[in-house]
Structure 1
Amino acid sequence: MKKKISSLVIAASLTAPVLAEGFYAGADLGRANVKTPSIQGEVVNDEVNLKKNSTAMGVFAGYQFHPNIAVEVGYRDFGSVKGSEPVELNVFDIAKISGTNVNALPADLKSNATLNATLKANALHASILGIVPVSDNFSLYGRLGLARIAAKLNGGVDATFASDIAKLSKTVSVSGTMDKTTKIKPMIGLGGRFAVSKEFGVRAEYTHFGKIEDVKLSTLMVGADYRF
């Protein structure tokens, strides 16, 4: 009986590092997927699409107070996504962009223009993790939490005007902040962690964030953590 008890104690001590409770911190890097409806230009009446991927990065810290439960806080930068579309300008658009009276525009004036938009976002988040050990070194986990998401949309128009009559060749850029918002939204995630050693581990996770305005955000990240 004593031998059996001793064997159980030894086995528990060998698996303990994987399920070790305590503080940890780490960083991750991956891809952010950003989806928005077409962005309506403010200077010209046209649209630009912003359904793209960007490079995301983040840092996090947490405390695992139970083999199956941890709490975690972090910061995530979703990077920026850019979109552009060629647009046709009417005389009123040209007058607005160039700062010229409509009646003063040369009759042969030609223009080329591009509508641009850039979306940047980041989040501060706090969540609880439910952890399910699969083996001595590998575990799966689910995440449920809240994220304070800040998003900023910049847009503008780059236009070139030319006229033989007026001997004119000019490039004009008009840009500014189209929208800026900060909201608290839910976040959910699913990931896995592999314990390389007692202190060091690597993990991968897919996270979906609640929609902010009409913007949908999700990330696929790979990271590493260190347990103190």
Structure 2
Amino acid sequence: MKKQIMLAVSLALAGLSAPAFADGSGFIRVEAGRADVDIRADGIGNGSDDDTAFGVRGGYWFNPNIAVEGFYSRYYSASYNDGFDTYDVKLHGVGVGLVAKKNFGGNHTGFFVGGRAGVARGVATVEFDGSLEDAEASSAKPYFGVSAGYDFSETFGLSVNYDRLKSGGDGVDVTAETLTLGAELRF
């Protein structure tokens, strides 16, 4: 399924004509902040924890209001020891989606609000120290986010972002909600 989604996105991008790219710009955005992670495991129970989140996003603005993006984000990483074994728990995600933004200043500068949505593959792993067994749950599900910020120029802006990603599999459901500060460079 994920190969078909990636193929469809690739074909759609390849089918865009050269004049559509003439007015656009590429971008890269780094984000860092806090993630609230909720985990529900069948037969074990529920739990939640906070951790530092960071990510990198990149893509292409077709015009000042619409872009495509790809991203990698690390939401959670922690180690636990139950007296016998050490467990390393990690959650990260990769995805592709669409971004929309509305600037309230002239020349694509000033305050803005935005949103993004797409498909992300969240991967939760548990590694058991001293054991050959590892557990992994992953799935491709929709993600969404909203942002507000300020574009200081046509090439640089800062934003506050809220994003939500779900993942799961094998009786495990994971939800990550992040609040981050982002810096975007357009070229």
- Fold-level match, TM-score > 0.5? yes
In structure 2, C-alpha distance between the alignment counterparts of 1:84 and 1:216, rounded to whole Å: 23
- Which segments of 5 or more consecutive residues in structure 1 lack a partner in the other structure? 1-19, 41-46, 86-112, 157-173
Select the residue among 112, 122, 126 that pairs with 1:149. 122
1:36 aligns with 2:33: no
Instruction: Give the 4+ runs in structure 1 shifted more than 6 A.
Output: none
Look at both structures and tell me which one has the larger radius of gyration over its CA atoms: 1
Q: Which residue of structure 1 aligns with residue 145 of structure 2?
A: 189
Note if contact 1:34-1:81 (Cα within 8 Å) is conserved in structure 2. Answer: no
Secondary structure of 2:40's counterpart equals coil
Residue 214 of structure 1 aligns with which residue?
A: 173
Aligned length: 159
Cα displacement (A) at 1:67: 2.6
RMSD, aligned α-carbons: 2.6
1:125 aligns with 2:95: yes
Structure 1 residue 34: deviation in Å?
1.1
Structure 1, 130-139 or 25-34: larger mean CA deviation:
130-139
Identical-residue share of aligned pairs (%): 28
Partner of 1:14: none
Determine the C-alpha separation between the residues in 2 that align with 1:176 and 1:121.
Answer: 20
Tell me which residue corresponds to 2:112: 139
Write the distance in 1 (CA, Å) between the matches of 2:45 and 2:86.
7
Distance in 1 between the 2:40 and 2:72 partners?
26
TM-score normalized by the length of structure 2: 0.72
Deviation of 1:147 (Å): 0.6
Q: Give the 5 Å matches for 1:1-228.
A: 21-37=24-40, 50-83=47-80, 113=83, 117-136=87-106, 137-155=110-128, 175=131, 177-212=133-168, 213-228=172-187
How far did 1:181 drift? Answer: 2.5
**Structure 2 runs not aligned, ≥5 long:** 1-22
Residues 154 and 179 in structure 1, CA contact (< 8 A), matched pair in contact too: yes
Q: Shift of residue 114 of structure 1?
A: 6.4
Amino acid in the other structure paired with 2:135:
D
